[in-house]
Amino acid sequence: MNCEYGEKLILHFYGEAGDGLASEVEAHLKGCASCRDALAALAAAEALLSKETPLPSEAVLQAVMRQARAAAHKPLFVWSWAETALAGAMAAAFLLVFAFAPQSASPDLAWNSGLDSGLDSVEYSMDQSRSELTASSGDWDYNYGVLSAEEQALSAEEV
Amino acid sequence: MTEGLSDTELVAAFKGGDVEALGALMERHKAALYGYLLRVTKRADAAEDIFQEVFLKLVHNPGAYGEREKFKAWLFTVARNAAMDYFRRESSRRALACAEGDAPVYGEEEAPSRLDSAASPEPGPQEALENKQLGERIAAALDKLSDDQREIFHLRHYSELSFKEIAEMLGLPIGTVLARMSRAAARLREELEKAAQ
């Protein structure tokens, strides 16, 4: 089957070619022994497989059915009436709580909540710490400067 | 009761709790699916294991079949994937056995005889012999196909899906599927001609 009809031939053999293509292939087959032989070989192979009808053992089918029955008795997610009623009651309770709970209508909630003053005090504390650190650092620089001067004086005396 | 129902209706009935619908599905597809698996694995025990695995997938995860595709296409896709897993496991097992110095437990030459022993119903002795010889020649020719060609030939025969559906299942262009099938037909012709000489 070295001609260009290989794929068309396959579609025709398996009944997937449209009417136009089927007629075209039929006409081609009349003059192409190679394609006829290929179809005959394909038909023989199909016939061989069709003769065989092996079946799985009954034990395999029964094993699947046993597991299916067991799974059917253990539903994964089935609501009972009691569960449905309970879920509804809980949802209603949540709605009531949110509908009637006192709410702060002010949009500038952060300013009135004390949050800002709290943040101010944190900022103030941080500023204080920074000042103290700077001051101690200054003291250290000063002390170090004095020690350096004393050391230079002693060196001069030794000379 | 389940006789007139389509595959999709049977799956829906099974999902709704009708276990017998699964039995009807198995009954409907057991010959094609098991025949395919036996041809592919060449072992009855492996074919039965995979057959069971495919339907148990539906039992334990009914949502795995989305009902948008044809049930048979889903069935053969799952079966093909499970068969590929089987071959991967076998390959690892054989590699391990070879590394340990053991001979392989079985090979392709030990394919179950029940596959090729089928003959037409009650032929005469001469006809039976000729049938047997022809069957052997065709089986040998099928073994000469490449894996790709044989896969498509088997899928088309057992699933009876269209080449378009098979192309979708394999994630291949339909032209590739048809070209492989065309080469398979040419190879079968060549092998049968050689055997006849």
pLDDT tens profile A17-53: 998 999 999 999 999 999 999 999 999 999 999 988 8
Is B120 in contact with A51 (Cβ distance < 8 A)? yes
Residues in chain B, pLDDT under 70: 1, 101-123
Show the tokens assigned to A27: 């006409």
pLDDT at residue A137 tops 60: no
Nearest to B163 by CA among B148, B179, B187, B150: B179
SS3 B55: helix
Contact A12, A25 (CB under 8 A): yes
Q: According to CATH, what is the number of the domain B1-110?
A: 1.10.1740.10
Domain boundaries along the sequence of chain B: 1-110, 120-197
Question: Cβ of B17 under 8 Å from any chain A Cβ?
Answer: yes
Q: In chain B, what residues touch A7 (CB-CB under 8 Å)?
A: 175, 178-179, 181-182
Share of chain A above pLDDT 90, in %: 38
Spatial separation of the C-alpha atoms in residues B170 and B77, rounded to whole Å: 8
Which residue do the tokens 């291949």 mark? Answer: B172
Q: What is the pLDDT of residue B116?
A: 44
Q: What is the pLDDT of residue B108?
A: 44
Show the tokens assigned to B196: 């006849």
Is B185 in contact with A65 (Cβ distance < 8 A)? no
Angle at B102 between CA B100 and CA B103, to 5 degrees: 145
Is A72 in contact with B17 (Cβ distance < 8 A)? yes
Q: In chain B, what residues touch A44 (CB-CB under 8 Å)?
A: 134, 138, 188, 192
- CB contacts < 8 A, A to B, total 128
Contact B36, B51 (CB under 8 A): no
Q: According to CATH, what is the number of the domain B120-197?
A: 1.10.10.10
CA dihedral A72, A74, A79, A85 (to 10 degrees): 140
Classify A52 in phi/psi space as left (phi over 0), alpha (psi -120 to 50) or beta.
beta
Question: Cβ of B19 under 8 Å from any chain A Cβ?
Answer: yes
CA distances from A35 to A2, A13, A40 (A): 8, 11, 9
Looking at mean pLDDT, say which of A44-58, A84-98, A138-152, B95-109 comes out highest.
A44-58
